[in-house]
Every structure is written in structure tokens, then in C-alpha cells.
């Protein structure tokens, strides 16, 4: 049986019209916000009243040694990421190859460099001369390993090859995200496997690859600090050298932290616009697909 509803009288409608809408109170949110602001205020007050010589921070923020370390950090970030991306793409393709030798080499590379600590890899590269005193082609040319694998080269190889192992998995995931029908259609028109990857698969996989690779670039900026243990003169190493001399430890650490935050902020802004660029085509295709469906309806 259907429910019988009585008509609403004009007096009831007038009473409803006079009702005031009261927003819901979220007291838990206000309490949490107040607690967070209290902790932040306490931290600011602690740093303001602490034994920190802020004029020293300002003095060394643009010191030549700090700017030189910042330059070395940025150079190493670019070089290591370039090497890591190239290796990542190569080993991702090898990993997906039907050739068992290529696939086995890629599996070993990813397994080794993801399975050992980065600091250990840096130390291995830096002390490679203990295993290979010379490098080159016997009878033609050779160099002393200690002259070739210095702090810069050891850092580049350590960071770049470690990054390549992680980038390989990112690239492989991006390739797998592309519909298999795209590859089959490319094969049907006579494209080779490499041409299909270069012109069909990789451009579509970029929207999946870019966000994690952008995060890896930001992480690489901070990972360069690990190279201070093998005497690479990046920003943290130079800051340590200065505070060993003047004993202003916290001040120099604040200087290094400030520059790291500035660089990471700039990279995050760049990553945002880069992601928007590669997602633009996807949004346009989705809009066209919706428009076609509406016209058909």
C-alpha cells in the first residue's frame, strides 16, 4: 500500500520559510587546527630564542663556498638524473625483451642496484681502484683507476646507476599502462618494435612516467648530500667544512636546509606545469569522447 501524505498547509510553509540554516560545527577540526598552530608557534619561538646567530646565517647564505656547493649539487643532480633516465629506458626495454639474455641482464641490474644501499654503492665506486688498479684496453691504452674515478665520477656512477634501476621500473610501468592494441596496430602497419616504442608507446606513457620521475628528481637533489662521505664538494659537504672551522654548526645547517628548500620548491613548480602539459592531450581526448557520446545519444 502506498503511504498517504497530507498536504502541507500555508502556515507550515511560512514556518519553514522562517527557519534559519545553521551550519554544522566541526569542533574536532578547530581543536586540531589550534593544536597544530600551537606546535608551530612553539617551534618558531624555540628557534627565535635558541642559541642561533641569525646574522651568521645571513652572512653565509650567499658565501662563495656555499654557492659553489649549491652549483655542484645542481650539476650532479642533472648529470645523475640524465644518466639514470637513459639507463632506466634502456633496461626497461631490455626487461620487456623476449631475448632471455637481455631480460636476465636487466633483472640482475635492477635486483643489485635496488637491493644494496646507496651509500655502499658510492663507497664501492670510490674504492674501485682496490679491485681494478687500471682501466682501459690492455696493449692499447690504460689509465690509473684512482685518476679516473675521483669524487665526482664516483658520485655520478653511484647516483646515476642507482637511479637507473628505479627509473627502469617506472618506465616499465608507464609502457605497460599503454593499451596493447596500440602496439598491435603499429605492427600491423609495418612499424618495428623500436619505432613503435619511440613514436607510439613512449609518448603516451609519459603522462604516467612524468610524476614519479619528477619526484625522483626532487629526491636526487637531497640524495647528493650522501656523497659528502666520499669528499664530493656539494652544499652539505661545504657547509660541514665551514662549521668545522668556526663551530657554527646549527647556523650552517640552516643555510644548507634553506637552499635545499628553495631548489625543491622551484622543481615542484616545474613538475606541476610539466604534468599539466602531458595531461592536456588526455583531457582533450576525454572531452571529445564525451561530446561524441552526447551527440550519439
Residue 10 resides in a domain = no
- Note the pLDDT tens digit of each residue in 58-79: 899 999 999 999 999 999 999 9
Domain, as residue range, for 290: 63-296
Number of domains in the chain: 1
- Write down the residue that cell numbers 635486483 correspond to: 111
The torsion of the CA quartet 50, 52, 57, 60, rounded to 10 degrees, works out to -160
Residue 207 resides in a domain = yes
Residue 58 resides in a domain = no
Residue 117 resides in a domain = yes
Does position 173 have pLDDT exceeding 70, yes or no? Answer: yes
Residue 245 resides in a domain = yes
* Rounded distance between C-alpha atoms, residue 174 and residue 241, angstroms: 42
* Rounded distance between C-alpha atoms, residue 39 and residue 174, angstroms: 41
- Note the pLDDT tens digit of each residue in 181-213: 777 777 777 777 778 777 777 778 888 888 888
Q: Which of 272, 250, 266, 236 is nearest to 76 (CA)?
A: 236
> Helices (DSSP H) in the chain: which residue ranges?
10-17, 27-49, 54-61, 64-95, 100-115, 118-126, 145-148, 151-177, 180-188, 193-196, 202-223, 235-246, 249-296
Residues 165 and 114 sit within 8 Å (Cβ to Cβ): yes
- Note the pLDDT tens digit of each residue in 226-279: 998 988 989 999 999 999 988 888 889 999 999 999 999 999 898 888 778 766
Residue 49 resides in a domain = no
Please report, for the domain that includes residue 288, its CATH number: 1.10.3720.10
Grid coordinates given for 25: 560545527
Residue 18 resides in a domain = no
Residue 47 resides in a domain = no
Amino acid at each position: 500500500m502506498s503511504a498517504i501524505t497530507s498536504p502541507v498547509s500555508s502556515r507550515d510553509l511560512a514556518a519553514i520559510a522562517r527557519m534559519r540554516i545553521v551550519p554544522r560545527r566541526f569542533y574536532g577540526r578547530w581543536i586540531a587546527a589550534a593544536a597544530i598552530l600551537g606546535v608551530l608557534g612553539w617551534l618558531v619561538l624555540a628557534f627565535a630564542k635558541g642559541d642561533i646567530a641569525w646574522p651568521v646565517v645571513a652572512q653565509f647564505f650567499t658565501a662563495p663556498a656555499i654557492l659553489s656547493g649549491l652549483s655542484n649539487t645542481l650539476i650532479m643532480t642533472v648529470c645523475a638524473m640524465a644518466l639514470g633516465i637513459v639507463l632506466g629506458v634502456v633496461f626497461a626495454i631490455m626487461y620487456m625483451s623476449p631475448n632471455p639474455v637481455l631480460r636476465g641482464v636487466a633483472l640482475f641490474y635492477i635486483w643489485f642496484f635496488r637491493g644494496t644501499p646507496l651509500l655502499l654503492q658510492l663507497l664501492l665506486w670510490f674504492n674501485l681502484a682496490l679491485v681494478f688498479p687500471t682501466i682501459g684496453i690492455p696493449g692499447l691504452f690504460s689509465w690509473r683507476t684512482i685518476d679516473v674515478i675521483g669524487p665526482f665520477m664516483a658520485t655520478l656512477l653511484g647516483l646515476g646507476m642507482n637511479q637507473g634501476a628505479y627509473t627502469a621500473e617506472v618506465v616499465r610501468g608507464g609502457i605497460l599502462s599503454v593499451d596493447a592494441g596500440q602496439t598491435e596496430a603499429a605492427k600491423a602497419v609495418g612499424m618495428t618494435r623500436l619505432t613503435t616504442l619511440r613514436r607510439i608507446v613512449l609518448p603516451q606513457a609519459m603522462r604516467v612516467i612524468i610524476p614519479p620521475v619528477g619526484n625522483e628528481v626532487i629526491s636526487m637533489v637531497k640524495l647528493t648530500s650522501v656523497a659528502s662521505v666520499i669528499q664530493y664538494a656539494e652544499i652539505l659537504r661545504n657547509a660541514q667544512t665551514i662549521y668545522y672551522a668556526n663551530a657554527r654548526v646549527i647556523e650552517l645547517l640552516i643555510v644548507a636546509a634553506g637552499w635545499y628548500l628553495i631548489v625543491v620548491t622551484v622543481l615542484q613548480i616545474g613538475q606541476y606545469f610539466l604534468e599539466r602539459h602531458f595531461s592536456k592531450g588526455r583531457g582533450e581526448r576525454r572531452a571529445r569522447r564525451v561530446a561524441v557520446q552526447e551527440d550519439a545519444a
